Amino acid sequence: MPAFDFPQDLLDAQAALDQVQAERDEFAQSLPWSAEPTPGWKADKQLHSDYQPEKEDSPGYTPEQAERVAAYRARILELTTFVITHPYWQTLSGNRVDARTALKHAHDPAGPEA
């Protein structure tokens, strides 16, 4: 993959986006399975197995949880918009997919793929 000379603000925005998405994903693991209070369910036994899918009742998100989820979504939208509308993309000719892929991996521990 060719090397790209990304501007620092674009690199910083991508790093922030990765961080916020990771924080959101970690937080989501602690949330109930439904945002709204929802009764649980039990499905029929699966064919050729003893597995019977079921979910416990979901209490729904607390107001604090819902507010935090909304804040993550707003920040992700803000950072994504900044990254995809950055003027740098207009300086590239041809297919920008390789550049976008390189940016997504610019902060990987091994660095961008060469």
**Half-sphere exposure (Cβ direction) of 37: Cα atoms closer than 13 Å:** 3
Tens of pLDDT, residues 19-40: 999 999 999 999 999 999 999 9
Whether pTM > 0.75 for this model: the answer is yes
92 three-state secondary structure: coil
Whether residue 112 is predicted with pLDDT greater than 60 in this model: the reply is no
